Structure 1
């Protein structure tokens, strides 16, 4: 069953099209993340779902009910904001139960909802404190608690972790995922952080310039990006993209990088059905940094698709868990992930293994992936 249907929704501010005919069908119990750079329209779309903004065109349905003309308070949604939006003079207990008191919920029901939610979020020992006495993570839990006691049809999160430090972000990300697994609630979550999108979502809607570029599960988004924008935006670090020419080799298609130069490389490609139409033409080759490693790497024990190359090293960035390495592939800079104990010398050529099983090809004109 669809918990939320967004059909041809557009939004215009003056002469600027902020949203351009957005279509999303979100199923009950899904955790959908809207991700994209600042100004892509994701927060505006969330505000339209919530009823805080009115769409210029299109329709919104929540649990099969059209809500275009229904005010926010009657949409049976709960929203968690970036700024927490807690009442500073009220205790945690009063903040969580405020909405129920306004709706005239019976005292016994208020208490049960408060007890259940406080225990779930592990804030039962904080109920008599005020927001000024809480840490950032505790305030965010209170904001979530206030939403949870409503038991709405739809939860909306607007960049809820962006005010937290790095460690708290990780902790709260795990908390939100654990909460979703327990409750099976339908959540629409806005962020500009690709890691949050990849780790939390059932499906991800990648947005850019008011349009949905791709709507799919995280694995598909990562391994089969719909276009160059998705490839370059999703992933930390993002996919390497390098211009190349496509030619036929003895065992299949080959990407030629830097044709005619001293550093010319010919990389054998996996079978890609639509790629033969590009023989003799320029394409964009996409390869993830983790598919570029130190020479001899077997990539899970399979070396059948591994190509050994010699490339100049520009810079290394040891992170403890791995050695991020900046390389030159032809005239282009790319990034590889090496084992933590491998430290190639900048300014010299070193041997590297390229795993091309998940290589992607893109049309340089349309920027869409070749399938």
Structure 2
């Protein structure tokens, strides 16, 4: 039985349809991330699951029970908000136990629950402090502790790290992932940050304009994006996409970038049988920046030599761990990720190795993945 099952869910605000026929099943113990740009409907979907908004159509089931008409307090969920939502006049201990007191949980049970989550979240020294005496990360731990003491069927996180600085966000991301591994809870987590989604999720629902574009594990989302939106949204830097033409030469498919230009690039493809119907037609080629590297790079465990192309460099961005290069491939702007100790000069014609095993091809009309 799925911990959360959403069927045919739609939401309208007057004439504006913000969610369109959403179908999702989340299994018990999964860490599912809803990711997408601002305004895509992910927070509205979470609010409907929580009972803070009503769906215009469709059903929501939690633990096999339909909850459309059930009050939020009776849905067996716990929610962690972006703003922490702590009571400023109460101590950390009182913030954590407040919900239990409202449910008339016996005092010994409250004390045991507080001791357990305080140890789990490493906030034992903070229990008598007020929220104003805590850092952002500590407040977020307290908000998580308040949710954990409920031991619900479902945890809902609504962009809980967006108020934190970059360093603290990385630390808290690891804390939440470690917590999930320890307690095996079912979590639905909303974020607009695709790095959070990739590093934390067991499965990701990529949303855009009120629809789920793809629902899969992070590796599938990254390597085989369902359409151009997913390809361009997931990844930092995102996938390079460019117009190209698929042709056959000596019985093998080739993709041509900048056809007819003096600097056109031809790439031989292997294992792209699904693209046979597009021979002689325009396609959109997608290739990740890490699949374009300095000449001499060996990609993975393969005896096949990578294709080497010469391309003009427009700009470089040293990041410490790597150098990101903006170059032109068949006249199209492309980002590459090369070793940090290599700094090609802007304007120079430079050799780059391409891993064509990881190329994606998209239909330019439907924008869906071909192969």
Alignment of 1:276-287 (within 5 A): 276-287=276-287
Aligned residues of 1:270 and 1:359 also touching (Cα < 8 A): no
Is the partner of 1:207 in helix, strand or coil?
strand
> What's the counterpart of residue 129 of structure 2?
129
Aligned residues of 2:298 and 2:305 also touching (Cα < 8 A): no
Q: In 2, distance between residues paired with 1:259 and 1:4?
A: 49
> What's the counterpart of residue 103 of structure 1?
103
Q: Report deviation, 1:329.
A: 1.1
Q: Report deviation, 1:271.
A: 1.4
> What's the counterpart of residue 162 of structure 1?
162
Alignment of 1:1-371 (within 5 A): 1-250=1-250, 252-302=252-302, 304=304, 306-371=306-371
Aligned residues of 2:214 and 2:226 also touching (Cα < 8 A): yes
Q: In 1, distance between residues paired with 2:54 and 2:2?
A: 21
Q: In 1, distance between residues paired with 2:131 and 2:249?
A: 66
Is the partner of 2:138 in helix, strand or coil?
helix
Is the partner of 2:274 in helix, strand or coil?
helix
Q: Report deviation, 1:305.
A: 5.5
Q: In 2, distance between residues paired with 1:259 and 1:59?
A: 50
RMSD, matched Cα: 0.8
Is the partner of 2:215 in helix, strand or coil?
strand
Is the partner of 2:195 in helix, strand or coil?
helix
Aligned residues of 1:305 and 1:356 also touching (Cα < 8 A): no
Q: In 2, distance between residues paired with 1:222 and 1:64?
A: 31
Aligned residues of 1:305 and 1:355 also touching (Cα < 8 A): no
Q: Deviations over 1:190-211 (max 9, x none)?
A: 0000000000001000000000
Is the partner of 2:3 in helix, strand or coil?
strand
Q: In 2, distance between residues paired with 1:200 and 1:351?
A: 36
After TM superposition, the score normalised by the length of structure 2 is 0.99
Q: Report deviation, 1:348.
A: 1.1
Unaligned runs of 5+ in 1: none
Gap change, CA 1:299 and 1:220, over 3 Å in 2: same
Unaligned runs of 5+ in 2: none
Q: Report deviation, 1:304.
A: 1.2
Aligned residues of 1:252 and 1:271 also touching (Cα < 8 A): no
Q: In 1, distance between residues paired with 2:25 and 2:111?
A: 36
Q: Deviations over 1:68-95 (max 9, x none)?
A: 0001010010000000000000000000
Q: Deviations over 1:109-168 (max 9, x none)?
A: 000000000000000000000000000000000000000000000000000000000000
Q: In 2, distance between residues paired with 1:5 and 1:305?
A: 47
